Structure 1
Amino acid sequence: MELELRHLKTIRAIADAGSLTRAATDLGLAQPALSAQLKRIERALGGELFERGRHGVRVTALGELVLERTRIVLPAVTELQQEAARFARTPRATACFRLGGTHGPLLGALVDRLADAAPDARMTTCTSWSERELAGLLAEGRLDFALAGTCGSAPPPGAEGLVWREVAVDPVFVMLPEDHPLAHRAELDLAELAGEEWACVPGDGCFGDCFTAACARAGFTPRRMYETDTASLVHLVQVGRAVGMCRATFPTTPGIITRPLTGTPLTWRHLLGWHAVTQRAETAATVLSQARMAHAGVAAGSASYTEWLAAHRAPVDGPSTLPEAVP
């Protein structure tokens, strides 16, 4: 009998379970069938792997040697299968961009720019509130590139083999109804909004904690926070139910104005991610360049952000260098 990968998994299962009875249950086998299989494996390897006793099994010296090898071989095979799956899912012949992103104007602007840069390329998009979900789709090879974001200097969503590059950093603005008592002001201090209820889009990063901390520094604890989709957020602001939190690039919306906060207590960092194995460096460089130009175009379309940039001369931070891969 030649040793197969499934035989190594069987040995690992018996060692982890500590008994043939429990291992048989875990593997979905009858105990006699597992015992017979183990004997065949032991004959192929030239000796006993386990000593049987009333209280279970104990690994022999040969068994320890084999188990040590399984700790190397099994993860390596799993990694090979995952990498092959990612490679197989990545289009090679025809140009195709499978783009993911959180909800907002930047993803659409990137699609528009790539359509001009690669007129024959096929493009699909996937949106999610979860940066972790987008990172997972990149890692699985289901997306080519993803626009995600982090609050302030928080690390990008982690998944093995992913590369993240900064597109831009925006200040976080507030959204007010046009008839709000403070709507005439060019800039607002966060403390002036202490009595308001708040609304923002959901996410799985640290924005909520950072917002609460910023309010604490301003001397108050925020009242109710609504985490909801963009359309509902806009409605809550329009009817005066809540003050909205938004990136400075939020598009002009009837009945709503956006205003910066004094001292820029909160920022949002736009990131572009891809998998290092499945993307060519020149393709990634092109998409990153287009993403940065897309952001500049979106920023130019916001009157309040344009005024803020003119007053501050430059964005909060320029693009910075991130580690090549996030473990």
Structure 2
Amino acid sequence: MELELRHLKTIRAIADAGSLTRAATALGLAQPALSAQLRRIERALGGALFERGRHGVRTTALGELVLERTRIVLPAVSELQREAARFARSRGEEGERLRLGGTHGPLLGALVDRLADAAPGTTVTTCASWSERELAEMLTVGRLDFALAGTCGSTPPPESPHLVWEEIAVDPVFVMLADGHPLARGREVGLAALADEEWACVPGDGCFADCFTAACARAGFAPRRMYETDTASCVHLVQVGRAVGLCRATFPPTPGLAIRPLAGTPLTWRHLLGWHPAGQRPDTAATVLAQAREAHADAAARSDSYARRLARQRPAPEAVSRPAHATAPGTGSISRGQGVG
């Protein structure tokens, strides 16, 4: 067997975890499969890398040698990937290709649609992920040009000292109810009125679950069961009355669902666009950001419940000091050092 980078990553994962069981969990493998892979790696390297014991594993002398080289090789390869991706982008014609990433929600598709008109000569590809941290890593290593992500309230964007994050918009979090739910008849729903409900939402790796739990505590209850599932299953559970769902205010109208604001806006969601400044021209970033903001405005206009809420909040014409569609306060550059204001 020829040694590959993935084998070095496996060795490092076992050493970091201190046991095959924990390493298998971290790598998403069954322990027997990891044990078999380790045996093949050890045969290729000519000896045992770890001593197994009741309390986990400990590196052998050969294992220490391999780990020492691994700590040099893996960062060097990652840096090579980043530099190669940036070099390739700088050599190509600007606007020929854009690789977009995003979490679930309507903005990614809407941005692709708007860029098709705004930059007709550009080839746009997409990548979806549940994980904001994964998207940030893909930006850092040059596998994506731009990423649509989000944070709960004023939480900072995904950890990365090299990325720029710009705010697209800040939305309230709404609740999804079955059409026949008693609370669906109201204009908005108090969070405390949902204390006896079970919940459904899509997964993520940010702090939203903590923010939601804290909001429920302020409302005087602890949430019951939470189903974390894909969007289609979440919608189904709400439609059949098994749960109520949390959603962004831009969630599109869906048969069988009543989308309602939460009274007092106990939860908000900040939409962000991220990129690596070394790999993008300022005019390209400005174009994509402007189209992302327009995509959000389009999504908000298509959401009946959000459009009605915005109409109720809109000031009288004589009180307006700026256009109704002006960017929300706080919009601007976000660096990791400053945090999200």
- TM range, normalised to the smaller chain? 0.7 to 0.9
TM-superposed deviation, 1:326: 5.7
Q: Give, as a single letter, the amino acid of the residue that structure 2 aligns with 1:107.
A: L
Judge conservation of contact 2:156–2:336 (CA < 8 Å) in 1: no
Post-superposition CA distance 1:192-236 (Å, at most 9, x none): 111100011100011111111111111111110111100000000
CA distance in 1, matches of 2:241, 2:178: 6
CA distance in 1, matches of 2:222, 2:146: 38
TM-superposed deviation, 1:77: 6.9
SS of match in other structure, 2:156: coil
CA distance in 2, matches of 1:178, 1:129: 28
Judge conservation of contact 1:97–1:121 (CA < 8 Å) in 2: yes
Which position in structure 2 is the counterpart of 1:223?
224
Rg larger in 1 or in 2? 1
Which position in structure 2 is the counterpart of 1:295?
296
Q: TM-score, normalised by structure 1?
A: 0.75
TM-superposed deviation, 1:84: 1.4
Judge conservation of contact 1:113–1:294 (CA < 8 Å) in 2: yes
Which position in structure 1 is the counterpart of 2:331?
320
TM-superposed deviation, 1:117: 0.6
Which position in structure 1 is the counterpart of 2:86?
87
CA 1:27/1:75 → structure 2, altered by over 3 Å: closer, same or farther? Answer: closer
The answer as to 2:121 corresponding to 1:120 is yes
CA distance in 2, matches of 1:104, 1:323: 22
CA distance in 2, matches of 1:324, 1:130: 20
Q: Give, as a single letter, the amino acid of the residue that structure 1 aligns with 2:334.
A: P
TM-superposed deviation, 1:24: 5.7
Post-superposition CA distance 1:51-77 (Å, at most 9, x none): xxxxxxxxxxxxxxxxxxxxxx99997
Q: Give, as a single letter, the amino acid of the residue that structure 2 aligns with 1:307.
A: R
Post-superposition CA distance 1:1-48 (Å, at most 9, x none): xxxxxxxxxxxxxxxxxxxxx76653359xxxxxxxxxxxxxxxxxxx
Structure 1 unaligned segments of length 5 or more: list them.
Answer: 1-21, 30-72
Alignment of 1:45-194 (within 5 A): 81-90=80-89, 92-93=92-93, 95-194=96-195
Q: Give, as a single letter, the amino acid of the residue that structure 1 aligns with 2:174.
A: F
CA distance in 2, matches of 1:230, 1:128: 13
Q: Give, as a single letter, the amino acid of the residue that structure 2 aligns with 1:311.
A: R
CA 1:232/1:129 → structure 2, altered by over 3 Å: closer, same or farther? Answer: same
TM-superposed deviation, 1:176: 0.4
TM-superposed deviation, 1:302: 0.5
Using the aligned pairs only, state the percent identity.
Answer: 65
TM-superposed deviation, 1:276: 1.2
How many residue pairs match? The answer is 265
SS of match in other structure, 2:173: strand
Post-superposition CA distance 1:134-180 (Å, at most 9, x none): 00110110000000000000000012311000000110000001000
Judge conservation of contact 1:89–1:142 (CA < 8 Å) in 2: no
Which position in structure 2 is the counterpart of 1:26?
64
Judge conservation of contact 2:133–2:158 (CA < 8 Å) in 1: yes
CA distance in 1, matches of 2:336, 2:219: 36
SS of match in other structure, 2:251: coil
SS of match in other structure, 1:318: coil
Q: TM-score, normalised by structure 2?
A: 0.72
CA distance in 1, matches of 2:152, 2:88: 31
Judge conservation of contact 1:162–1:326 (CA < 8 Å) in 2: no
Alignment of 1:204-243 (within 5 A): 204-243=205-244
RMSD of Structure 2 on Structure 1 (CA): 2.7
CA 1:246/1:163 → structure 2, altered by over 3 Å: closer, same or farther? Answer: same
CA 1:188/1:25 → structure 2, altered by over 3 Å: closer, same or farther? Answer: closer
TM-superposed deviation, 1:95: 1.2
CA distance in 1, matches of 2:241, 2:79: 55
